[in-house]
Amino acid sequence: MIIDYAKIYVKAGDGGEGAVAFRREKYVPKGGPSGGNGGNGGSIIFVADGNLSTLLDFKYKRKIVAENGVAGGNSLKDGRAGKDVIIKVPPGTVVKDADSGKVLLDLDEVGKEVVFIKGGMGGKGNSNFATPTNQTPRYAQPGKPGKEMDIILELKLIADIGLVGFPNAGKSTLISVVSAARPKIADYPFTTLEPNLGIVKYKDYKSFVIADIPGIIEGAHVGKGLGHKFLKHIERTKILLILIESTVEDPQKEFDVLMKELSEFSEVLKEKTKVIAFTKSDLLAEDEKKKLTGMKIKGYDNKIFVISAVAQEGITNLLDYLWNSLKT
């Protein structure tokens, strides 16, 4: 099961305190200040790891604290810096402030590495404060505390094309035919209970990624059904492939409901390029297929496809069109 949300506490390491010390050597009865500086605290670093695909680790580890810097020593010895903590997350993870919901970081590329919170600076030892009028300072700086905060990790899958449709529209069947993904498929609504990613092997060693999310129903943007929880996973896609069953009585109404749910959830989804494909064409006569191909859908001015994943009808033309659209 994919875990796409986690709330955790993170804290950078505190800086080590500077030392108050003086030289105590033979024949040097009044040695000068020799307190070393404290080490810097460890930082919190995020890395987008291509080997990860879920936030499951953070279900069990919700408190992450970097190491504190070590205090300075005598003989001008500086303290060791605290060890950084590297937090590995799946590509597509967004880091938000738990209180305000503000996006602080977007790890949208594999290998992306960002210092999220720098460790606290170490304090200066008393050797830094000697002056002509005060040659034996008995003061050293304390280390600065590391910043701490509660954050939300939210995973948004990275894909080129997102499949959108009502439950049982044929999304899972399509992704299983055009890619190596093997989602659960059955003849009842809400077969898909979590997102699926499929890599489509296109011509001449080319490929693109399709994301399948649970079916959308009217009211999804306010929490009805399952689709609302996963709509965020198609916000990064370039194209939304709208799948509508070819046997529905009112295709226009289905399209309008889907568009309303997308636009109510996110302005980003509203502005995406959309392509309509009528599914399960193997259930239709030839004249019915032609009628759907030439149908005018209000609010849509792109090409309409009529396909059957089971019978492999229209799939090649659809993939060609999607590939060319991705490249423009």
Sign of CA dihedral 184, 190, 194, 198: positive
Q: Top-level CATH class of 161-327?
A: alpha beta
Tell me how far the alpha carbon of residue 9 is from its chain's centroid. Answer: 18
Report pTM.
0.75
pLDDT computed for residue 43 by the predictor: 98
Output the CA–CA distances (angstroms, integers) from residue 129 to 67, 120, 143, in the order listed. Answer: 27, 20, 16
Every domain of the chain and the residues it spans: 1-155, 161-327
**What pLDDT score was predicted for residue 316?**
92
Centre a 10 Å sphere on the Cβ of residue 315 and count the other Cβ atoms it contains: 17
Nearest one of 297, 281, 280 to 289, comparing CA atoms: 281
CATH architecture of 1-155: Distorted Sandwich (2.70)
Q: Which of 271, 269, 310, 317 is nearest to 293 (CA)?
A: 317
Report the pLDDT value the prediction gives residue 182, as an integer from 0 to 100. 56
pLDDT of residue 29: 66
Question: Which tokens hold the place of 4?
Answer: 């796409």
How much is the pLDDT for 215? 67
Rounded Cα gap, residues 175 and 252, in angstroms: 24
Q: Which residue ranges in the chain fall short of pLDDT 50?
A: 183-193, 220-227
pLDDT (0 to 100) of residue 169? 80
Q: Round to whole Å and give the CA distance between 147 and 15.
A: 11
At 122, give phi and psi (nearest 5°): -75, 150
Three-state DSSP class for 265? helix
- For the record, the structure tokens of 113 come out as 């590495």
